[in-house]
Amino acid sequence: MTYQGLIQRYGRYLDLPDHTKTISLLEGNTPLIPMPRLGRQFGCELFVKFEGANPTGSFKDRGMTAAISEAAGRAVQTVICASTGNTAASAAAYAARAGLRGIVLIPEGKVAVGKLAGAIAYGAEVIQVQGSFDDALSLVVEITQKTPIALVNSINPFRIEGQKTGAFEICDDLGSAPDWLCLPVGNAGNITSYWAGFKQYQKGLPQILGVQAAGAAPLVLGHPVEKPDTIATAIRIGKPARGEQALDAAHESNGRIIAVTDEQILAAQKILSAEGVWVEPASAAGLAGLLAESAAGRFEAEGKRVVVVCTGHGMKDPSIITESFRSPKIIPSTYNALLDAIKL
Ligand SMILES: *Cc1c(COP(=O)(O)O)cnc(C)c1O
């Protein structure tokens, strides 16, 4: 039978109500790409879980199929979310698929172009809020408490249910859980979901390395960050909704949550691109964290199986690349000019 999406494949492991009406874009089933060259550097068996291969280009589709399916099944008419971009694009696509009205709130001027374009293309009503993601989320919480609009941020428990499937897929692909799982942490829904997924699936438990950006690292600092700042827009979050659960996941797994600088994130992004895997900056944080821990002698990788979750596609945030590179050369349309340009 051809692949029919996450709820069809893993629904029996997901705590979704009976009224759930499956809305799917055949999300999930993303590649677990072996990275032998990079792995040799750490002496480990390294894989990238490439979540950019989801229908809207990020892992958010895993939770969104569940949240929108639940909402559609109880005849909700309008869904809303606050977003640093990828949740907006995902909510917009699944709302469109379900025939629902989709409203997304984004922090003004702080969303990468590929994400904003996605939300608009899928037909959501995009509203810019003069404030941070955290401010936008507070507004979304308030309006969904006072009106029948359904909230599809990751405070919505069904988002977490859907996102557990990332852990299931990794276990199914490897035959068991890896030794380490490294991933970026923003609002902390994903780390919460992975940990819940591994515990439920009973194929072993990884140690978890959660990675925040230094300018938006409330879980490392131990207090909220009023003005979070990082080029990794998807994790530019100062008050993670599931911060406690993220700390529990790191602690219970015998792992930790660390912070890396924007420079380290961009360097990791380049390393991944050089292996043919282009991810958006936030998505490179997991590898940046692994590199930093390894360099500091805090990561015993030898002989271990390590999965780095790359949460979103590089095409989401193309300007970060084009701004830091010179424009491609221009040549006359002649063979000699070409030979000259490539200096064989
Ligand atoms: C949402 C997102 C994150 C952060 O995930 P949380 O569940 O908020 O911790 C990281 N990377 C990308 C690409 C995202 O879209």
Q: Summarize pLDDT for 153-171 with one digit per residue, the tens.
A: 989 999 999 999 999 999 9
Other Cβ atoms within 10 Å of 322 Cβ, number: 9
Give the CA distances from residue 82 to residues 52, 138, 190, 328, in Å, rounded to whole numbers and listed in that order: 20, 9, 16, 37
The confidence score (pLDDT) of residue 111 equals 84
Q: What is the mean pLDDT of residues 229-244?
A: 95
Closest atom of ligand 1 relative to the 186 alpha carbon: 9
The confidence score (pLDDT) of residue 77 equals 97
**pLDDT-based confidence at residue 322 (cuts at 50, 70, 90):** confident
Closest atom of ligand 1 relative to the 193 alpha carbon: 7
**pLDDT-based confidence at residue 219 (cuts at 50, 70, 90):** very high
Q: Is the CB of 89 under 6 A from ligand 1?
A: no
Give the C-alpha separation, 85 to 82, whole Å.
Answer: 9
For residues 197 and 168, is the Cβ–Cβ distance under 8 A?
Answer: yes
By most ligand atoms within 8 Å of CB, the mutation choice from 48, 59, 320 for ligand 1 is 59
The confidence score (pLDDT) of residue 145 equals 97
Ligand 1 centroid from CA 336, angstroms: 48
Cα-only R_g, the chain = 20
Is residue 321 pLDDT above 90, yes or no?
no
**pLDDT-based confidence at residue 323 (cuts at 50, 70, 90):** confident
**pLDDT-based confidence at residue 172 (cuts at 50, 70, 90):** very high
Give the C-alpha separation, 83 to 91, whole Å.
Answer: 10
The confidence score (pLDDT) of residue 117 equals 92
Ligand 1 centroid from CA 338, angstroms: 42
**More reliable by pLDDT, 116 or 173:** 173
Q: Is the CB of 71 under 6 A from ligand 1?
A: no
**pLDDT-based confidence at residue 1 (cuts at 50, 70, 90):** confident
Ligand 1 centroid from CA 111, angstroms: 13
Is residue 301 pLDDT above 90, yes or no?
no
3-state secondary structure of 305: strand
Who contacts 307 (Cβ-Cβ below 8 Å, separation ≥6)?
32, 46, 47, 48, 49, 170, 174, 178, 180, 181, 182, 206
What phi-psi label fits residue 31: left (phi over 0), alpha (psi between -120 and 50 degrees) or beta?
beta
Q: Is the CB of 192 under 6 A from ligand 1?
A: no
Query: Which residue's alpha carbon is at the smallest distance from atom 1 of ligand 1?
Result: 234
Q: Is the CB of 218 under 6 A from ligand 1?
A: no
Q: Is the CB of 234 under 6 A from ligand 1?
A: yes
Q: Is the CB of 184 under 6 A from ligand 1?
A: yes
Give the C-alpha separation, 140 to 143, whole Å.
Answer: 5
Ligand 1 centroid from CA 312, angstroms: 8
Cα 10 versus chain centre, distance: 20
Q: Is the CB of 83 under 6 A from ligand 1?
A: no
Is residue 220 pLDDT above 90, yes or no?
yes
Q: Which candidate, 280, 153, 288, places its Cα nearest to that of 210?
A: 288
pLDDT over 70 percentage in the chain: 100
Ligand 1 centroid from CA 310, angstroms: 10
**pLDDT-based confidence at residue 109 (cuts at 50, 70, 90):** confident
Q: What is the mean pLDDT of residues 219-241?
A: 95
**pLDDT-based confidence at residue 258 (cuts at 50, 70, 90):** very high
Q: What is the mean pLDDT of residues 211-237?
A: 96
**pLDDT-based confidence at residue 102 (cuts at 50, 70, 90):** very high
Q: Which candidate, 236, 178, 199, places its Cα nearest to that of 39?
A: 178
Q: Is the CB of 281 under 6 A from ligand 1?
A: no
Q: Is the CB of 216 under 6 A from ligand 1?
A: no
The confidence score (pLDDT) of residue 84 equals 87
Give the CA distances from residue 81 to residues 104, 146, 165, 189, 252, in Å, rounded to whole numbers and listed in that order: 5, 15, 21, 14, 30
* Mean of pLDDT over the chain: 96
The confidence score (pLDDT) of residue 112 equals 84
| Cα three-residue angle 27-30-33, rounded to 5 degrees | 170
Is residue 133 pLDDT above 80, yes or no?
yes
Q: What is the pTM of this model?
A: 0.95
Ligand 1 centroid from CA 37, angstroms: 26
The confidence score (pLDDT) of residue 325 equals 73
